[in-house]
Homo-oligomer: A and B are copies of this chain.
Amino acid sequence: MKYSIDHKSPIPLHVQAEALLRKLIEAEEYQNGKTIPNEVELAKQLAISRTTLRQAINKLVFEGLLVRKKRFGTKVANGAVSSRSNNWLSFSQEMKLRGITIKNFELHVTWVYPDETLANFFEIKTDRKILKMERVRGKTHEPFVYFVSYFHPRVGLTGDEDFKRPLYEILENDYSTIATLSKEEITAIAADEFIANKLKMEIGSPVLFRKRLVFDQAERQIEYNLGYYKGDSFVYTVESSR
């Protein structure tokens, strides 16, 4: 066992255990589809109680990373290895499999000071930095999707943390922010007067309405987005309320 648990650390044991399991899965120490050691055994190895270990495993099961099966054991979910499988890279790989080639994408992540509006939205002060993420996805030199997302400081990103190493590592050390889930709902609607006016487009133009729920252990936030075509690029505005 390469890694182990530090009983003197202020970080809760179950959180450490969760992180450790994540690492082992990601490093494919525990491989795709294979079972991990049984709870009693593993608890003994890590020198923690089975109850505590289960707390850690539960989270990963809930996330879909691990799958429990009685008598058989707990295995790494098939095709779901590591948190990487939901990120941009795997996305483009999947697209490739479908015969779609995607080139020239850009990703820009920065910490910025929010303007008045955003600060209000997040209910923080303007001197507290938030994470800004811009994504441009393109195909043969023509970018056609542009995302801008801002994240509340409390929300430690949302599952595709893998986009940029250094940042990922920063977050990796603060496991209190890890249990984050997001849920999205997107609808294609026709712009009515209100929206058409707001976006300076004609009534009836197709608009994407995106509702995004981000929730960590602490609180839930809702983000609204309106997306529309502008020329030959697709613009995604962070609209929103809470």
Contact = CB atoms under 8 A, between A and B. Distances in A.
A134 to B, nearest CB: 15
A182 interface: yes
Given A67-B219, A77-B220, A215-B64, A208 B188 contact: yes
A124 interface: no
Copies in the complex: 2
Interface stretch (A15-23, A113-121, A161-169, A189-197): A189-197
A2 interface: no
B186 A145 contact: no
A80 interface: yes
A68 B217 contact: yes
A31 B174 CA distance: 33
Nearest to A222: B79
A34 interface: no
A204 to B, nearest CB: 9
A175 to B, nearest CB: 15
Q: Which 7 A-B pairs have the closest CB atoms?
A: A99-B194, A64-B215, A64-B220, A184-B184, A186-B186, A188-B234, A100-B192
